Amino acid sequence: MQPADLDLLADGVVIADGSGAVTAVNAVAARWLGADRAAVVGRPLSDVLALQDHEGRDWCSFNCPYDGLPTRSAVPEQAWLLPDGTEVLVVARIHRPALDQPVAGVAVSLRSGRGRDRLDRERSDLVATVAHELRSPLTGVKGFVQALLNRWDKLSDDQKKLMLTTVSVDSDRLSRLIAELLDVARIDTGRLQLYPRPSDAGVLVRRVVESVAAGTSRPIELDIGESLPEITVDPDKFTQVVTNLVENAVRHGSGAVRVSVTAEEPGVRVRVEDEGEGISPEMRRRVFTKFWTGGGRGGSGLGLYLVNGLVKAHGGTVAIGDAEGGGARIDVELPATGAG
């Protein structure tokens, strides 16, 4: 690469020869280091690479790129501070013609730390979201268990049963959240495992609707079509998809929730509709991203991200539209067993 070509790079680059003298600096590195490109050529790398850590150590003295074992070929990425205090991520390559030869050149690359800052923010958002979602059911579990321990002899059997039932529900909620977080990690890393088998979509959807309906006063209408073909799915993951869709409709809607299962070539379509505000066309792509909580109605923001990931893992599709009379409509289509 010619010196002029270095200016095409988005990262800062400083190159030094075997004696430690700088031979090239691109425009990005010169700007970040506050250096005159023409004046720095020929100067020692330690003078030009004005980087310090939080303890005041400089990069060259700390890493000693010209010393060390002859098998050493790089300096791993580290965070350093520019003269103006901005953090950059620095990595270096050390070139030797052969293991028994001295260092012939060092190439140092400087990259903005903003990407890492964004990653740190995303991790902080995840921690905050998980902490918030875990705190509510844990508070309920702790409170009722403490009440049972302190007042066991004074509580009636009906009161004990109510408290234990609430503890059981909150424990299930915690288990589901943990399962969701694990599935998010597996989807992100491509390690999601499925255990598919031929299944009756109507039976699985009916179970979900009955379970969700038992915990809400919102009416949920269910319509299961005739002659549904079998679909080959992981029953647990399919149940998770439908549960997330129905609970999302209950949370964000204002009236009845309608669920239908119909035969659609080449498989089965599960449709969930609510009577809420709906999802505008420009927002529909964002719905399937992590931490989307449109409408401010709570939730972890992972439900629809998981729905999209799990459906795609089964070879299906998810589509968002407008329900008749207002509200959102979400269609999940999965191929029938043997289709394709």
Q: Which of 335, 333, 338, 337 is nearest to 321 (CA)?
A: 333
What mean pLDDT do residues 154-182 have?
87
pTM for this entry: 0.60
Which range is least confidently modeled, 87-91, 310-314, 321-325, 334-338?
A: 321-325
State which of 92, 112, 132 marks the end of a domain.
112
* Predicted pLDDT of residue 7: 87
Other C-beta atoms closer than 10 Å to the C-beta of 44 total: 14
Tens digit of each residue's pLDDT (9 = 90 or more) over 202-255: 999 999 999 999 888 889 999 999 989 999 999 999 999 999 999 888 988 778
pLDDT of residue 187: 85
Confidence of residue 146 (pLDDT cuts 50, 70, 90): very high
DSSP-derived secondary structure letter, 41: T
Q: Which helix (H) or strand (E) holds 124?
A: helix 114-151
pLDDT-derived band at 287, boundaries 50, 70, 90: confident
The two three-digit tokens of residue 18, written as one number = 């075997």
Whether residue 58 is found in the same domain as residue 149:
no
Is 108 in the same domain as 171? no
Tokens matching residue 181: 């977080």
Query: Do both 181 and 202 map to the same domain?
Result: no
Phi and psi angles of residue 181, each rounded to the nearest 5 degrees, phi first: -60, -40
Distances (CA, A) of 42 to 1, 15, 106, 131, 164: 19, 11, 14, 54, 77
- Let me know whether 105 and 124 are in one domain: no
- 257 and 302 both lie in a single domain: yes
Confidence of residue 188 (pLDDT cuts 50, 70, 90): confident
Give mean pLDDT, residues 15-34. 94
Q: How large a percentage of the chain has pLDDT more than 70? A: 91
pLDDT attached to residue 302: 77
For the chain, what is the domain count?
3
Residue with more model confidence, 116 or 337? 337
Domain with 257 in it: what CATH number? Answer: 3.30.565.10
Residues of the chain above pLDDT 90, percent: 52
Cα 30 to chain centroid distance, Å, stands at: 36
Residue 299's pLDDT band, with cuts at 50, 70 and 90, is low
109-118, 192-201, 285-294 — which is least confidently predicted? 285-294
Q: Is residue 51 part of a domain?
A: yes
Q: Which strand (E) or helix (H) includes residue 248?
A: helix 235-252
300 contact partners, CB below 8 Å, separation of at least 6? 129, 130, 133, 177, 180, 291
Tell me what the pLDDT averaged over the chain comes to: 87
Contact 12, 32 (CB under 8 A): yes
Strands 220-224 and 257-264: parallel
Q: 20 is in which domain, residue-wise?
A: 3-112
Last residue of a domain, one of 189, 205, 222: 189
Which is nearest to 310 in space by CA: 213, 228, 242?
Answer: 242
CA–CA distance from 329 to each of 25, 180, 260, 323 (Å)?
Answer: 56, 23, 11, 5
